């Protein structure tokens, strides 16, 4: 393709790239946002529980099926609330995203995930049993009766069915056998499932019937959540992509199977992004436009240019090397908290597995000269030490050192031995790790065993 437009030799002897560039860094995380979000979430949970309890009288509880129906109402209310929290977590609200990062967000989402679905399934079972006990009929007869008599319940039942299907598909053993895109499309149905379930809650729920104010408050909270998702997951990315108008200007082979894509855009000097962050990239070309994949920036922007570097491992990443000049590019982000803002110590060690070097390469540009980085680049073969010259140059100007470890994983020794051997002052440094999940687990475990504090370990897993 065309001649090079992007100058990778960004390390100035006197100034860091950030000092030479007008690109603003991503805003730092505000710890109080996390505390506030947690407090609001806990208060809202208490409100939901109080709402459920206060809607029952002791007389109602004493009736046949009273206690079972009450358990059904409570599990339903709390389940719906936790589903809402799940939606907020993945809404990519910038202030939260800066605190959680990609991995924190996924960790919370996965940790919480089973709860709303299990509680809502329990809700359906308990309510049906409770109603059956009250009307002295059987469970199956009551299901037919409920779905038949209440149209909103039929929609909610379809919604619950969808949620359970998504929950099952998210079990790791099943998820690992699915294509990421299939899993993602299936996940989108969660929004439909929640929308289908919404009406029956306010039309039939004992906490809502005869309580118009509670109905309004609940509806406003749900509408605000839907608005937040639309704003941050749809409107903002569309607006940003339109504003920057990125197009592919160069596709460059870096190593066997590894390609850098350089995009050019307008007003890119206004894009607030930090080294170590990533975007979800959507290449608007036949066959690719419908999927957005996360790739880190492999260098800070050099307005009007932005670069990503991709290793071909599947259909999307392989198609990247065949992109044509002029292809439009939509972006969602920047995301990620593995930036210079996470640093606790002056000095750092960066540990990259294979293509994991991309985000650490851009992070290096943001590091001050006194950071004296120790960079450990691990690769299966010499030609997979991607961007090694750029990394070496950046490290040299920060008076750091690069260790290149090449060969099969077993021959390189354990992560613990590597850290002990190569980073004598490990406890005085922040550790940044990037790459495949297995390697990251090994390095984090080793660092923890060697006494590195959790708050000094920052990582980005190149997987889902
Ligand atoms: C935060 C982050 C930053 C990344 N940065 C880079 C980078 O700079 N350069 C690079 O080459 N790769 C990067 N990756 C990995 C890259 O996203 C995947 O290699 C790519 O999406 C694979 O898609 P595929 O269709 O080619 O392969 P597939 O066959 O679809 O997937 C292969 C594997 O890639 C992972 N993967 C696929 N789709 C996604 C997705 N949407 N989100 C997360 N993981 C996925 C899964 O582990 C999957 O098993 C990054 C991943 C993450 C999460």
Domain ranges of the chain: 17-26+240-335, 56-206+208-239
| Average per-residue pLDDT for the chain | 91
Which is the closest atom of ligand 1 to the Cα of 298? Answer: 8
CA of 19 to the centre of ligand 1 (A): 31
SS3 assignment, position 272: coil
Would you state the pLDDT for residue 408? 84
Looking at per-residue pLDDT, the higher value among 11 and 146 belongs to 146
Q: Per-residue pLDDT averaged across 223-242, rounded?
A: 96
Which is the closest atom of ligand 1 to the Cα of 297? Answer: 8
Find out whether the beta carbon of 291 lies less than 6 Å from any atom of ligand 1: no
Q: Enumerate residues 6+ apart whose C-beta is below 8 A from 447.
A: 415, 419, 426, 431, 457
Q: Confidence band (pLDDT; 50, 70, 90) for 8?
A: low
Q: Per-residue pLDDT averaged across 363-374, rounded?
A: 94
Which is the closest atom of ligand 1 to the Cα of 280? Answer: 41
Phi/psi at 339 (5° precision): -125, 180
CA of 442 to the centre of ligand 1 (A): 20
81 Cα distance to chain centroid: 21
Find out whether the beta carbon of 335 lies less than 6 Å from any atom of ligand 1: no
Q: Per-residue pLDDT averaged across 346-355, rounded?
A: 96
Q: Whose CA is nearest to atom 29 of ligand 1?
A: 314
Q: Whose CA is nearest to atom 11 of ligand 1?
A: 310
User: What gap in Å lies between CA 285 and CA 244, rounded to an integer?
Assistant: 18
Token digits for 114? 């089973």
Would you state the pLDDT for residue 463? 83
Q: Enumerate residues 6+ apart whose C-beta is below 8 A from 379.
A: 354, 385, 386, 404, 405, 406
pLDDT of 358 > 60? The answer is yes
Q: Per-residue pLDDT averaged across 192-206, rounded?
A: 92
Token digits for 205? 């729920």
CATH code 3.90.1520.10 for 17-26+240-335: no
Find out whether the beta carbon of 358 lies less than 6 Å from any atom of ligand 1: yes
Would you state the pLDDT for residue 58? 85
Q: Whose CA is nearest to atom 50 of ligand 1?
A: 462
Q: Per-residue pLDDT averaged across 250-271, rounded?
A: 94
What is the tens place of the pLDDT at every residue in 385-443?
Answer: 999 999 999 999 999 999 999 988 777 789 999 999 999 999 999 999 999 999 999 99
In order of 205, 282, 288, 366, the CA distances from 294 in angstroms are 41, 9, 13, 21
CA of 298 to the centre of ligand 1 (A): 15
């Amino acid at each position: 393709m065309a001649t090079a437009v992007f100058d990778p030799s960004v390390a100035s002897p006197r100034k860091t790239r950030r000092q030479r560039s007008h690109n603003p860094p991503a805003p730092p995380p505000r710890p109080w946002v996390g505390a506030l979000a947690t407090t609001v979430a806990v208060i809202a949970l208490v409100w939901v529980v109080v709402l459920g309890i206060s809607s029952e009288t002791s007389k109602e509880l004493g009736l046949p099926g009273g206690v079972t129906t009450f358990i059904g109402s409570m599990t339903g209310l709390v389940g719906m609330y936790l589903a809402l929290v799940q939606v907020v977590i993945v809404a990519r609200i910038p202030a939260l995203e800066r605190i959680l990062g990609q991995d924190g967000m996924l960790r919370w989402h996965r940790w919480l995930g089973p709860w709303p679905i299990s509680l809502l399934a329990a809700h359906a079972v308990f309510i049906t049993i409770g109603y059956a006990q009250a009307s002295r009929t059987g469970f199956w007869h009551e299901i037919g009766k409920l779905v038949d008599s209440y149209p909103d319940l039929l929609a909610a039942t379809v919604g619950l069915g969808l949620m359970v299907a998504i929950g099952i598909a998210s079990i790791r053993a099943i998820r690992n056998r699915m294509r990421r895109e299939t899993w993602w499309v299936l996940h989108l149905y969660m929004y439909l499932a929640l929308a289908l379930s919404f009406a029956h809650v306010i039309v039939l729920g004992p906490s809502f019937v005869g309580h118009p104010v509670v109905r309004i408050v609940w509806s406003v909270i749900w509408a605000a959540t839907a608005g937040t998702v639309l704003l941050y997951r749809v409107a903002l990315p569309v607006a940003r992509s339109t504003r920057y108008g990125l197009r592919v200007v160069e596709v460059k082979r870096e190593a066997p199977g590894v390609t850098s894509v350089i995009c050019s855009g307008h007003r890119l000097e206004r894009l607030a992004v930090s080294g170590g962050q990533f975007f979800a990239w959507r290449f608007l070309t036949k066959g690719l436009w419908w999927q957005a994949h996360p790739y880190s920036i492999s260098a800070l922007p050099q307005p009007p240019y932005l670069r990503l570097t991709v290793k071909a491992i599947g259909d999307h990443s392989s198609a990247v090397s065949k992109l044509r000049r002029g292809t439009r590019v939509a972006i969602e982000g920047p995301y990620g908290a593995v930036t210079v803002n996470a640093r606790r110590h002056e000095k750092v060690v960066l540990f990259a597995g294979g293509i994991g070097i991309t985000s650490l390469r851009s992070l290096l540009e943001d590091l001050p000269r006194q950071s004296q980085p120790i960079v450990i680049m691990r690769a299966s073969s010499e030609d997979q030490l991607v961007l090694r010259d750029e990394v070496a140059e950046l490290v040299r100007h920060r008076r750091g050192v690069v260790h290149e470890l090449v060969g099969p994983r077993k021959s390189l020794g354990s992560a613990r031995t590597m850290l002990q051997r190569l980073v004598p002052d490990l406890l005085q440094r922040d550790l940044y790790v990037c790459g495949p999940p297995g390697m990251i687990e090994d390095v984090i475990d080793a660092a923890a065993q060697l006494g590195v504090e959790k708050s000094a370990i920052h990582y980005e897993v190149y997987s889902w």
